[in-house]
Amino acid sequence: MGAAAHIARPDAATRLRAAQEVRARQRRRTRLFLLAPALGIIGIFGLFPLSIALVYSFLEPGTYGGVEWVFSYDAYVQFLFERDIFDDTLSFNSAYLQIFGRSFGLAITTMIGTLILGFPVAYFIAARPPEQRNFWLFAITLPFWTNLLIRTYSMLLIVRDEGFVNLMLMKLGLISEPLEMLYTDGAVLAGLVYSYLPFMILPIYASLEKFDFSLLEAGHDLYATRTQVFRHIIIPITRPGIVAGCVLVLIPALGAYITPELLGGGKKLMIGNLIALQFGSGRNWPFGAAAALILMAVVLIALLVSLRAGASKEGGHG
């Protein structure tokens, strides 16, 4: 009996180990089974197509859209130069650079605009008593879920020549003739700020949500002025939120399509319109793909810069 138990003991240990191994394998298999559809569908239909776009950007355009499978880097050359149809010489053409320049200008101005408008709101919400915060958060998030197209359209109704703003101003006798606001950069900017403002408010609010406002009092007790308290306490605390908000606004603003289309009236093209145009009536898929990849590269750079900006803060904090 005693001898049998002696023999059985190591056997039980190995059996236990074996059972644990089987369980671990099962867990891994379950995990893989659960993750496979998400990773598969996003990997194959979300990420992989980007490499197709890369391939397309090095091909020749088909006559009726699509591509000819002939290698060419014309799409990138076309970005800066114009090819003369007759003698094939290249001459510098800044038209596309200008579109990129305008897009960056508008996107960065949008970012600054949303920051100026959004920061006070985020701060205000965070300083509210908890039961009021929910109302404000809900009120700020709701427009974000509302159809972007419809919101842009509602903006168009407001800034048209016979729109609401002009009507009000004329009724008040401030102007006698309608101001021309639609189809200007200003209208596009207003539309972009209007569209992406919640993206700025929410992350800044998140960085302030857990903030202990009595720290301000501590600063005050140590003879810090209002401005000093703001600069040395509030700004460092909200920095990750500001960085996140800037990225969340910059990325969609750079690739905006609907806003410049409706409020810029096609005269004020942005990158997004340029890309879509190449895949539509422009029938130059390789050029559209190249423009999209250049946009993608800029977005990646912005993301990396923001990661560093966020990280340096963490370092300074510790």
Partner 1 sequence: MDKLLSIFRPSTGSRELRRQPLFTGMSWLVLLFLYAPIAVLVVFSFNDNRSVVRWTEFSLRWYAAALENDDIRRSAMISIQVALSATVFSTIIATMAALATTRGGVYRGRSAAIALINQPLMIPEIVTAIATLAFFSILRQLTGVTGIGWLILAHTVFCVPFAYMPIRARLSDMSVTYEAAAADLYATPWQTFRHVTLPLLMPGVMAGAMLAFVVSLDDVIITLLVAGPGETTLPIYILGQIRRGVTPEVNAVSTILIGLTVTMVTLTFFLQRKRK
Footprint of partner 1 on 73-92 (CB under 8 A): none
Number of Cβ within a 10 Å radius of residue 138: 9
Question: Using the rule CB under 8 A, which residue among 139, 301, 305, 307 binds partner 1?
Answer: 139
CB of residue 160 vs partner 1: minimum separation in angstroms? 8
DSSP string, 288-315: HHHHHHHHHHHHHHHHHHHHHHHHHHHH
Looking only at residues 107 through 126 of this chain, which bind partner 1 when binding is defined by CB under 8 A?
117-118, 120-121, 123-125
CA angle 200, 114, 213 (to 5 degrees): 55
- Among positions 191-220, residues that touch partner 1 (CB under 8 A) are 194, 197, 213-214, 216-217, 220
Minimal distance, residue 153 CB to partner 1, in Å: 6
How many Cα atoms within 13 Å fall on the side-chain side of residue 299? 16
Which of 279, 282, 283, 313 is in the footprint of partner 1 by CB under 8 A?
279
Q: Give the closest residue to 246 by CA, choosing from 110, 100, 141, 148.
A: 110
- Residues 291-310 touching partner 1, rule: CB under 8 A, are 292-293, 295-296, 299, 303
SS3 251: helix
Which one, of 4, 243, 228, lies nearest residue 111 by Cα?
Answer: 243
For residues 155 to 194, the per-residue mask of contacts with partner 1, x marking binding by CB under 8 A and - elsewhere, is: xxxx-x-xxx--x--------------------------x
- The strand pairing partners of 82, in sequence order, are 91
How many chain residues are in contact with partner 1, going by CB under 8 A?
88
Supply the minimum distance, in Å, between the C-beta of residue 12 and partner 1: 21
User: Judged by CB, which is closer to partner 1: 8, or 43?
Assistant: 43
Q: What is the DSSP string of 47-112?
A: IHHHHHHHHHHTEEEPBTBSEEEEE--HHHHHHHEEE-TTT--EEE--HHHHHHHHHHHHHHHHHH
Which one of residues 25, 49, 68, 84 is an interface residue with partner 1 (CB under 8 A)? 49
Closest to partner 1 by CB, 177 vs 221, is 221
Q: What is the closest distance, in whole angstroms, from the C-beta atom of residue 217 to partner 1 in the complex? A: 4
CA distance 229 to 217: 9
Binding to partner 1 by CB under 8 A, coded x per residue (else -) over 214-253, reads x-xx--xx----x--x---------------------xx-
**Minimum separation from the CB atom of position 82 to partner 1 (A):** 23
Dist. CA 172–CA 175, nearest whole Å: 8
Task: List C-alpha distances in Å: 192 to 47, 227, 302.
Answer: 27, 30, 18
User: Counting contacts by CB under 8 A, is residue 143 touching partner 1?
Assistant: yes
